[in-house]
Each structure stands twice: as C-alpha cells, then as structure tokens.
Amino acid sequence: MNASECLPEQVWYLYPLTIATLCVSCVIGALGNAMVLWLTFFRMTRTVTTVWFINLALADFVVLVTLPITIYYVVSGQWPLEKWTCKFYMAFLALNFFVSIYLLVLISVDRCILVFCPVWARNHRTVRRASWLALAVWLVAAAACFPYLQFRDIVPAKGCNHCYFNFSLGGGGDQREKSRALRRQREVIVSHFLLGFLVPLAIIGTCAHLIRTRLRRDGWAHTSQPKRMLVVLVTAFFVFWFPFNIALLVQLEKLVEPTNPFFPKLMLILWATFSLGCLNSCLNPFLYVFIGRDFRERCFQSLSSTLTRALPQQPQWQATSEVTVSPRSHLPVLQRSHLGREAGGAKAHLLEPLLV
C-alpha cells in the first residue's frame, strides 16, 4: 500500500509538514551538532561545561542522523523493517530523548551550584566527576526507555504495519487481559510524562527562578542577558516538547481497547509533535552556545574562539574581581587593600556562569 492508503484523510495536512520539519531538523541539526562535537573534541580544552555540551550534542546528533528511518516510515505510511528493529529503534529514540532532557536538568543544576556555591564548585567541580555524572545520565535514561523495548510491536491496521505500543503481553482478548493492558498503558504514559517532561521542567524552572532571585538580590537585576538566556532555555524546552507529551496523554482517553491500540490519526499526530521535539535538538547548538553573545562581534570571530568564550571553565570574576587565590589552599583570599569592597567583589561572580 502507498502512504495515502495508510494515513488518515482527516489530518492529511500534517503529512507534508511533518516530513518537511523532520528533513530540516535532520540536515541542519546534524550539521550543527556535528560542528559542536568537532569543536569541543578537537579545538577546545576539556572542561566540565564542555563535557555537558559534548554529551548533549552527541545525544542530539545521533537522533538527528538516524531521522531518515523516521522520514521513510512517515513517507511510506508503514514500518518497513522487522519487529526487533521496531523495538530497538524506538527505544533508541527514547534513550536520546531522555538523555537530552536530563542533561539540560544537569546543566541547570550546575549553573545553580556555580552561582550559590562558587568556592565549593571551584574545588569539587572536576572534569572526571562531570564525566561520571554524564555516564550516570545515560544509564538512567536507558532504564527510563525500557518500556519501549518491552511494549513496542508491529501493529497491523487496514493492511499496513505500524510500529506502535502493544500493551497486551498475553495476546488474549478476555476482560482480565484488557484490564492489565490498560493498567500498563497508563503506567507507561504517565511515567513518561512525569520523568520525561513535568519533573525536568519543574527542576529547570526552579533553577532559573533561584538564579534570577540571587542575581536580583545581589544587584544584577539590571542585567538582561542572563535572564534572557534562562527564559530561552526554559521556553524552548516547554514549547517544543509540550505538544508531544500532551499527545501521549491523549492516549489515556483514546486507547479504550489497549489490546488493539492503533489509531492512524493519533499516530500521525504523535509523529508531527515528535518532529517539533527534533527541532529542539536542531536548535540546541544555537540556543546553548550562540544566544547571549553579541552577534555582530561574533561575526568577526572564528567559531572555535566563540565557543571557547561561550563555555568557560571558570567565571571571569576570578580574574577580574578583587579576589586572588592562595597557592597553598587554592581558596579565594581577599586582598587587604580591597577589604572595604568585599561585597561588591563577591557579587561579580554571579554573572559569568549564566552566559553559557
């Protein structure tokens, strides 16, 4: 069958929009994240912040570079491969989805620690620990995507094979099996919404609020650049992934028969909203590296030097404020000649970490 026979006529307008969005995300996003990976691996000093961005760009890159499989699926209207590829490919997409979101949470928490505990961060925030934390993120994300391995299946509908959830493990049609399948369906969808959207969004929003409050309290309320950056990060996360998670929640109302769960209309809506999430992965290199820097000044710099400025390991306050470092203790010590300006020097460290 061709795609027109497998896709619902009621939402046909979503078909070209979804394909176009996926294609743009695949090409531009893969190139952008590949550039970030190349620069952070080979052109920049390895720091804690570059560890975050290497993993974030890697998660986005591997999703975007495999989007041709999704594009072919949407264009053909049915899953072209075997059952095991359906399971592993969808679990692979879910893995990188969770990795990206959890890394954004980690970056937000890291920004908070830099602002509220700069001395502690200076002594304990190491590349090795950051690498272990990044590995932990991948492991937690792998555990979160286990339901995709368990419940993804080839679901036939109107002569077309689709890669979709099948919560009926027993394959029976009795009422008890339907109840168990419905319970599994609710558990998977609600846990995905909580672990993959609501809880991360709450943490990111809380970190943004705390940092903004600290900046305002210490006299940086007039500075618009950090606040704009925080607003962009939270807004992008919310805007691009909110429709996909709402479409998942809609299944709780639509999938009354979890033993035969496929609805072509809902399937296309899910892929359309997923393509918006791919746009987030496409824009991440620009959101987390370029926003917040003067564009005209950046046009006269090499991309490598721009990223080096955008991803500092240590805030500039350590070099520009009235704080020096004791060679023995490696702790900041105020110079005697500037003791009277201790409060003003202490405030300077709050700004630079937020420019990432």
pLDDT 10s digits, 35-72? 888 888 887 788 888 898 889 889 999 999 999 999 98
pTM higher than 0.85 for the full model?
A: no
Q: Is the pLDDT of residue 209 over 60?
A: yes
Helical (H) or strand (E) element with 155: strand 152-157
Q: What is the pLDDT of residue 138?
A: 95
Mean pLDDT within 162-174: 71
Instruction: Please tell me the predicted confidence (pLDDT) of residue 20.
Output: 92
- The Cα 51–Cα 235 span in angstroms is 24
Range of the domain at 124: 3-355
Which one, of 245, 248, 306, lies nearest residue 280 by Cα?
Answer: 245
Instruction: Quickly state the pLDDT bin for 290 (edges 50, 70, 90).
Output: low
Residue 330 phi, psi dihedral angles, 5° rounding:
60, 25
| Residue 335, pLDDT score | 38
Closest among 36, 116, 70, 25 to 285, alpha carbons compared: 36
211-269 per-position pLDDT tens digit: 888 877 876 655 555 456 656 767 787 888 889 888 888 876 655 454 445 566 777 78
pLDDT at 124: 87
- Per the structure, the count of domains in the chain is 1
φ/ψ bin of 159: left (φ > 0), alpha (ψ from -120 to 50), beta (otherwise)? left
Nearest CA to 65 out of 17, 94, 23 is that of: 23
At 162, which CATH number?
1.20.1070.10
Confidence check: pLDDT of 356 > 50: no
The whole-angstrom separation of Cα 111 and Cα 107 is: 6
Q: What is the distance between the alpha carbons of residues 204 and 193, in angstroms, rounded to a whole number?
A: 15
pLDDT at 129: 92
